[in-house]
Structure 1
Amino acid sequence: MKKILFTGGGSAGHVTVNLALIPRFLKEGWAVSYIGSHDGIEKQLIAKLPDVRYSGISTGKLRRYMDWQNVKDPFKVIGGAMQAYRIIRKLKPDVVFSKGGFVSVPVVFGAWLNRVPVVIHESDLTPGLANRIAIPFAAAVCTTFPETEKHLRSAKTRFVGAVVRDGLDAGSANRGRVFCRLDGSKPVLLIMGGSLGARKINETVRLALSRLTAEFQVVHLCGKGQLDPELDLPGYRQFTYIGDELPDILAMTDVVVSRAGSNSIFEFLALRKPMLLIPLTKEQSRGDQILNARSFEASGYCEVLEEENLTADTLASGVSRLYRDREAYIGRMEQTGQKDALSDLFHYIKQTVRS
């Protein structure tokens, strides 16, 4: 029996590609394991899968700014690497697939110490810090954007394109309306701040609700701990996170407001959902979401609203304009030639084992 070990976490974006690949390996009879943090979102999403063995390790955050935790976290990473080394030595996987995030660094290093080949997947146009650290220990790096190769300057890179989960396009708009208790009398606006939420977006949405609900029925994914129990308005539904029902929610959605994480925006592109993107600022991130959003804007798939310009007025007017011009956005999306990146990535991982 072939064995594969997955890793990646810290946000849902570092887990979704793994969730897309795991069923394919299970279907072909592979033994599937996963190493993540003890209490991150990856554990919530993966530990419930009955045929996947989940192991938690110690992990630290890799920061670009001064913080006292920077003194302690390197020791957590070292401890996590030794834990990962022991787990991998025991499991003896044929290959490790890493989606990135802070927890992946000690796992990739532990695999390298065990001489297990590692395939890394980079979603964004430029690689994140965790993947930059891990790449020297990997056998291959698969990219979503073709431009990423010039940022890596490595012979290890392989362009596979955007991975879209199987079944995401199989949702039912009617099931979505039943789940959200919406009647279909108005178009649906889906607002996603990312799996961890986005306080600034949430606050602005609530300030703009009277204008938004005058034109739309609104489904608002707020993130953990950011629900407002005081809000109970007709045509407005808020959730911490949506799991199995997401295909149904997307099926009934007309336009989307979202951060600009690569996995999400490529899924919206595949489903032909016009987007108003609000990327994380450079103060909050390394600027990868800004690059993702500008790339999509240049292709005519979205509008971009910088967080510095985000107000109730700019949000409401931006969404209204997006909906008014939705057919033009959908037309451009239909012209894109998206390949089956999930199958390509799946076969490439197996090829790495054979070679």
Structure 2
Amino acid sequence: MRIVISGGGTGGHIYPALALIKEIKKVNKEATFIYIGTDNGLESKIVPRDNIPFKSITISGFKRKISFDNVKTIFRFLKGTADAKKLIKDFNADVVIGTGGYVCGPVVFAAAKLKIPTLIHEQNSVPGLTNKFLSRYVDKVAICFEEAKAFFPNEKVVYTGNPRASEVLHRNGDEGRRSIGLSNDKKTVLIVGGSRGARPINDAFLEVLPEAGKRDYQFLYVTGEVHYEKVMNEVNKLGNPSNIFIRPFIHNMPEVLAAIDLIVARAGATTLAEVTALGLPSILIPSPYVTNNHQEKNANALSKNGAALVRLEKELDGQQLLTDIDDILLNQSKWEKMHLASKQLGKQDAAKVLYEVINQLAKRNH
């Protein structure tokens, strides 16, 4: 099977694609891939590290407001489609997959025009412009949240979940604890604001750091590299409690997630896929700075099923955050209910389900 995958811009589009590639390689040793992205996107740095052949096209996203830049984007789209057609033909692709971001627009559109089977994967509860556009042309639309179904042609939709979830399953929590120096006999809460951190979450936790230092459980607090120095200056003034472990970034997140009992985080699709795969209870603080406010909608999908507590950034303060953590971590009955609800949402092996859909599409091409 010869597969073209395209997706870029953010890790939320790239990491599910890489997880899917890994799963397909496990079950189909003969499968070969090329990944099409942009040279200036995050994918150009991440994908080659996994030894996946990487090709690039030039494309930019549409502005949501009327802009002359959109005229340029139309011309780039036409040129990108032509370039993608050549790459797809030269590779002799059996199926083409888009995992989101504007780069997959011309790639998946080109494949559809070449009559090659196509699939797009939507990670969020509210799709972006590119996937809404492509849904008219593709054969299948894979979704992770039932709420996304309403945005796509019903007959094309298949619920798969996020293949990134498979990355955290069967990881060694002991290894995660050792890598940080966490105690084995204390419950652990992870506080993280995404790969770059989140200042409002940092500010809220710093408010109650001395009080948090008196708890019998432990904290792993990830500041984000850009905030780390400033946070540590404040922490040193406040006494640097021994039950609070502070890091700028976590490189082995799957192992660390397997070691914790509760997570405080944003509500990006990749994070929620990992959280539900492990059945972790969560306190979610959606970023209000994302397209269509999709993180709040993602978070509410977990909350309504009892798997998460949602706090909006505008109502966040340190005392409320610490109270919320206490209410879940120190109440075993509540923790168990949230754990089971989270696990129920993440029970499907998304990578395997997606592979079956892709396999059927590829067979149709022969």
TM over 0.5, yes or no?
yes
Which amino acid is the alignment partner of residue 49 of structure 2?
A: K
Which amino acid is the alignment partner of residue 14 of structure 1?
A: H
Is residue 222–residue 241 contact of structure 1 (8 Å, CA) maintained in 2?
no
Distance in 2 (CA, whole Å) between partners of 1:229 and 1:32 is: 43
Match of 1:339 in 2: 348
Deviating more after overlay: 144-153 vs 257-266:
144-153
CA shift in 2, pair 1:317/1:67, >3 Å: farther
CA RMSD between the two structures: 2.7
Which amino acid is the alignment partner of residue 127 of structure 2?
A: P
Distance in 2 (CA, whole Å) between partners of 1:172 and 1:117 is: 38
Match of 1:288 in 2: 294
User: Helix, strand or coil: the match of 2:276?
Assistant: helix
Distance in 2 (CA, whole Å) between partners of 1:213 and 1:63 is: 46
* Cα deviations by residue, 1:38-86 (Å, 9 ceiling, x for unpaired): 1333233321112x10123323233435778656545544443343233
Matched, 1:55 2:61: no
Which amino acid is the alignment partner of residue 4 of structure 2?
A: L
Deviating more after overlay: 66-75 vs 172-181:
66-75
Q: Give the CA deviation at 1:308.
A: 1.2
Q: Give the CA deviation at 1:247.
A: 2.3
* Cα deviations by residue, 1:228-274 (Å, 9 ceiling, x for unpaired): 366174432223352xx222201211110111123321321221211
Distance in 2 (CA, whole Å) between partners of 1:197 and 1:75 is: 36
User: Helix, strand or coil: the match of 1:47?
Assistant: helix
CA shift in 2, pair 1:193/1:106, >3 Å: farther
Structure 2 segments unaligned to the other structure (5+ residues) = none
Q: 2:271 aligns with which of 264, 267, 278?
A: 264
Which amino acid is the alignment partner of residue 26 of structure 1?
A: K
User: Helix, strand or coil: the match of 2:50?
Assistant: coil
Aligned 1:181-196 pairs, distance under 5 A: 181-184=181-184, 186-196=186-196
Matched, 1:217 2:230: no
Match of 1:31 in 2: 32
Is residue 16–residue 165 contact of structure 1 (8 Å, CA) maintained in 2?
no
CA shift in 2, pair 1:126/1:6, >3 Å: same
* Cα deviations by residue, 1:211-243 (Å, 9 ceiling, x for unpaired): 44443533344456443366174432223352x
Distance in 1 (CA, whole Å) between partners of 2:48 and 2:91 is: 17
Deviating more after overlay: 61-70 vs 341-350:
61-70
Distance in 1 (CA, whole Å) between partners of 2:74 and 2:207 is: 41
Matched, 1:274 2:273: no
Q: Give the CA deviation at 1:7.
A: 1.1
Is residue 170–residue 247 contact of structure 1 (8 Å, CA) maintained in 2?
no
Is residue 213–residue 236 contact of structure 1 (8 Å, CA) maintained in 2?
no
Distance in 1 (CA, whole Å) between partners of 2:77 and 2:274 is: 32
Matched, 1:18 2:25: no
* Cα deviations by residue, 1:263-298 (Å, 9 ceiling, x for unpaired): 3213212212110011122x5320222222112111
Higher helix content, 1 or 2: 2
Match of 2:121 in 1: 121
Which amino acid is the alignment partner of residue 43 of structure 1?
A: S
Distance in 2 (CA, whole Å) between partners of 1:184 and 1:214 is: 18
TM-score (norm 2): 0.84
- Structure number with the bigger relative contact order (C-alpha 8 A, sep ≥ 6) is 2
Distance in 1 (CA, whole Å) between partners of 2:195 and 2:57 is: 21
Deviating more after overlay: 135-144 vs 300-309:
135-144
Which amino acid is the alignment partner of residue 279 of structure 1?
A: P
CA shift in 2, pair 1:191/1:79, >3 Å: farther
Deviating more after overlay: 310-319 vs 203-212:
203-212
Distance in 2 (CA, whole Å) between partners of 1:116 and 1:276 is: 42
Distance in 2 (CA, whole Å) between partners of 1:354 and 1:84 is: 22
User: Helix, strand or coil: the match of 1:137?
Assistant: coil
Is residue 142–residue 157 contact of structure 2 (8 Å, CA) maintained in 1?
yes
Distance in 1 (CA, whole Å) between partners of 2:202 and 2:92 is: 44
User: Helix, strand or coil: the match of 1:329?
Assistant: helix
Q: 1:305 aligns with which of 290, 293, 311?
A: 311
Which amino acid is the alignment partner of residue 144 of structure 1?
A: C
Structure 1 segments unaligned to the other structure (5+ residues) = none
Matched, 1:351 2:350: no
Which amino acid is the alignment partner of residue 6 of structure 1?
A: I
Which amino acid is the alignment partner of residue 316 of structure 1?
A: L
CA shift in 2, pair 1:251/1:24, >3 Å: closer
Which amino acid is the alignment partner of residue 171 of structure 1?
A: R
TM-score (norm 1): 0.87
Distance in 2 (CA, whole Å) between partners of 1:24 and 1:97 is: 15
